[in-house]
Amino acid sequence: MLDQYNAFDYHGAINYSWEITMGKGFSLETYPWVYTSKYTENKEWKDEYTEKPHKSPEEEALMAEKELSELLQKRNSFPELPLVNYTTQYGMGCFEGMKAYPQKDGSLKIFRPDENASRMKRSMEGLMMPGFPEDKFLEASINIVRKNRDCGFFPKYDPAWEADNYVSGHSIYIRPFSYSEPAIGLSVSSSPWIVFIATPVGSYFDPGSSKAVVTEKFRATPGGTGWIKCDANYVVPILAKKEAALNGFMEAVFLDSVEQKYVEEGSSCNIFFKLKDGTLVTPSLGDTILPGINRKSVIELAKDISVTVEERKIEISEVMEKADECFVTGTAAGVSYIESLTYNGKTAVFNNGVQGELTAELQKMLKSIQYGAVEDTKGWMVAV
């Protein structure tokens, strides 16, 4: 399904074979520049940009594995942040994920960071901590990519990516996250840090099977934190996805926790179904479903090509009987098709197990905007 990668090509550098974990999506090959901001007693955010130890990309490509590993560990070290706190002890933290994409014209642009800024602020306030200002979030997002670009750490656009609708495209993953002050008791953070790091990123799902299974676990409950992109929400999905993988599935799909019959999400992504009548359906938002930014974007793109889109509750029985395409969306997943879904021992195969036309079209539309292959008429891409 998804391509593997051999090397990461930095702009201005000769192709070389620094073997990084691109095929696995996320990587701890963190870039040198990081951003931190601390909420002070004066109710202000104090910013700091730090340049972690590094050599040039070309020099790092030639380093021995042990030497490179030691360098990367130094880049991933934040001794100024306390080990024991509300975040590490109780999962009282939240984060965002977004990408900066190399453009055909050689520049870099970030996809809809204003949406991430808004969601991050809502998440923090939902956890009863001070919300990080949206204007500061946008400024930090741009600066962290720019500073790393200026010292050589960023991918160069490759026209070969166009052949598979940019599934094989490289990008920069930006991870902002909150981190609480020192603490051990049960409470909420009143003076947190915000940290921004950046890494190279490739495909989220492994190549091969894209089969999914309905898990018996529940991701969220009404009245809980399902709508917040918080740390603790990912424990159950990780367990469900690992359990699914042990049984030969790529993805786990959650049902609602009350009636146990309505589809809600994938393990870390929103989910869509194209029904046999041509309607595109995705579960409606509520306090148990994360409001995905790619989800929002795909809905708009589908409407642009006159697809009827419904945001509503959808029963698993309707999916099994009436869906002929299925895909998931997310910052990591992009638009990724699901070939089949297994529920209670029965399997529904979508579009004969291959990517459907609508899925492919939406994937191409979204990626083409992100990589600058078509004009961004929506104002989604923010220049670095």
Our CA angle for 176, 98, 18, nearest 5°, is 95
Instruction: Say how far apart CA 128 and CA 41 lie, in whole Å.
Output: 16
337 half-sphere exposure, CB direction, 13 A CA radius: 28
What is the rounded distance in angstroms from the CA atom of residue 8 to the CA atom of residue 107? 17
Cβ burial, residue 2 (10 Å; 0-12/13-18/19+): buried
The one-letter amino acid at 193: W
The rounded distance, in Å, linking the Cα atoms of 279 and 314 is: 12
Beta-carbon contacts of residue 260 (< 8 Å; ≥ 6 apart) = none
Catalytic residues: 229
Query: Which run of H or E residues covers position 63?
Result: none
CA distance 374 to 53: 37
- Cα–Cα distance between 103 and 70 in angstroms, integer? 32
What gap in Å lies between CA 288 and CA 220, rounded to an integer?
A: 5
Nearest by Cα to 140 from 114, 122, 119: 114
